[in-house]
Amino acid sequence: MANESACLVLVFLCVTALACSAQTNETDAPAEVINLVGSIELINQSLYYDNRLVAYRGEVVGPVMMRGDYAWINVHDGGYAIGLWCPKGDAKWVKVSGDYNKRGDVVEVSGVFNRACLEHGGDLDIHCISLTVLEAGKDVPHPVNERKKMTAIVLGLVVLVLFFERIIWGYKATEASIRSPIWKIFFRIRKNILPGVIAEIAFTICLMTIALVVCVVVVFIAGVLR
């Protein structure tokens, strides 16, 4: 019984001591508050944040680059992209990197910010402690604008017409000098058929105009006579 009591007291004392020591640690060295900081602030206030624990959030842009047991991930938060030096295991969580066709994974990291990292040749970077993928990346569709498509087709046709116009007008003076039958057809179209069609249409338009003028005059004279 006495032994049991002694054991209980001993356990109680140990637990109390541990609790006290834990409490002391908490008061002596409080866990650093990790602030979510943007890239512009990090670069603007780089001296302040140097070697501090920060949290940073943004989209992964460009491919993840594996370097031994670590990897470089560049993360853009809308201001600038900052390089994250992550353990290979963390980097493997990143599945989609942002480019023209994709929006990359949105990640949040906590880590130590370095203004001029001595380990990495003076780069401004963050050495990751933890990495969380907040939002998975996705494809970004870029549908072709219908108006642009039509404009391209119409302008392309105009260029084709001008090209053939230049070929026919510029180099082939007489039909006899053209050997290719296809060019002969083009030449005839340009030399005879096209001007002929234009002339006939122009004649018809003139005729209609004259008729219209005649009608107007007739109506006018009739009005006067009445």
| Interface residues toward other proteins, by CB under 8 A | 40, 43-44, 46-47, 61-67, 71-72, 74, 76, 80-81, 83, 85, 98-100, 115-116, 118, 120-125, 140, 142-145, 148-149, 151-152, 155-156, 158-159, 162-163, 165-166
- Complex with other proteins: residue 98 or 187, whichever CB lies closer: 98
Q: Would you say 43 and 124 are in contact if contact means Cβ atoms under 8 Å apart?
A: yes
Q: Is the dihedral of CA 19, 24, 27, 33 positive or negative?
A: negative
Minimal distance, residue 6 CB to other proteins, in Å: 60
How far apart are CB 108 and other proteins at their closest, in Å? 19
Task: Output 116 or 205, the one with its CB closest to other proteins.
Answer: 116
**Given the complex with other proteins, which of 8 and 152 has the nearer CB atom?**
152
85 close to 127: Cβ distance less than 8 angstroms: yes
Minimum distance from residue 20 beta carbon to other proteins (Å): 43
CB nearer to other proteins: give 120 or 184: 120
How far apart are CB 101 and other proteins at their closest, in Å?
8
Tell me the C-alpha distance between 94 and 60, whole Å: 8
Residues comprising the chain, all counted: 226
Task: Select 55 or 114, whichever has its Cβ closest to other proteins.
Answer: 114
- At its nearest, how many Å lie between other proteins and the CB of residue 44? 6
Alpha helices in the chain (DSSP H): 2-28, 39-44, 46-49, 88-91, 146-171, 181-188, 194-225
Query: Could you say which DSSP state residue 141 is in?
Result: -
Which of 84, 88, 32 is CA-nearest to residue 56?
84
